[in-house]
Amino acid sequence: MKISADEVLNCGCKTAPDNKCAGNQEMQNGNDWDSLGRTELLRRIDEIGFAAYDLQLFLDTHRDCEEALELYKSLTFTYRAAVKAYEAKYGPLSAMNSSDKTPFEWVSDNLKWPWQKEGEM
């Protein structure tokens, strides 16, 4: 059974008559991540990362499956594009992805913890 990256990335939303999200092909190519809000983009990153990791585990036991390897490559490319778009707009997803200049840039004035904001209100 062949599975395409579009099928894996299909979010199941009802935006198109065939129940496929119209933006998946564009997003797979890294062209339209800016159209998603922060929460939706983070959800898509989680979904794509999960699918890629699941394929990685499959490939551990099926190393000769070229179809799975091509899908894995496609998903990891898409994952990197989504993470890059998220980090460009909202900052690093992890400490390891922060810049060398300010290793704690995710702890900025705009992103304080709720208990840090209590005295400011």
Same domain, 58 and 107: no
Number of domains the chain contains: 2
Q: Are residues 10 and 39 in the same domain?
A: yes
- Determine the average pLDDT of the residues in 64-78: 94
Judged against a pLDDT cut of 70, whether residue 6 lies above it is answered with: no
Same domain, yes or no, for 115 and 70? no
Residues 47 and 81 in one domain: yes
pLDDT digits (tens, 9 = 90+) for 30-60: 458 888 888 999 999 999 999 999 999 999 9
First to last CA, the chain: 57
Do 22 and 59 fall into the same domain? yes
- Domain limits for position 30: 5-90
Looking at the structure, tell me whether residues 62 and 14 fall in a common domain. yes
pTM across the whole model: 0.63
Same domain, 18 and 41: yes
CA 97 from chain centre, in angstroms, equals: 14
pLDDT digits (tens, 9 = 90+) for 74-100: 999 999 999 999 988 888 887 776 666
Backbone angles phi, psi at 3, to 5 degrees: -125, 130
Q: Do 78 and 105 fall into the same domain?
A: no
How far, in Å, are 44, 83, 96, 106, 115 from residue 93 at the CA level? 13, 8, 8, 8, 21
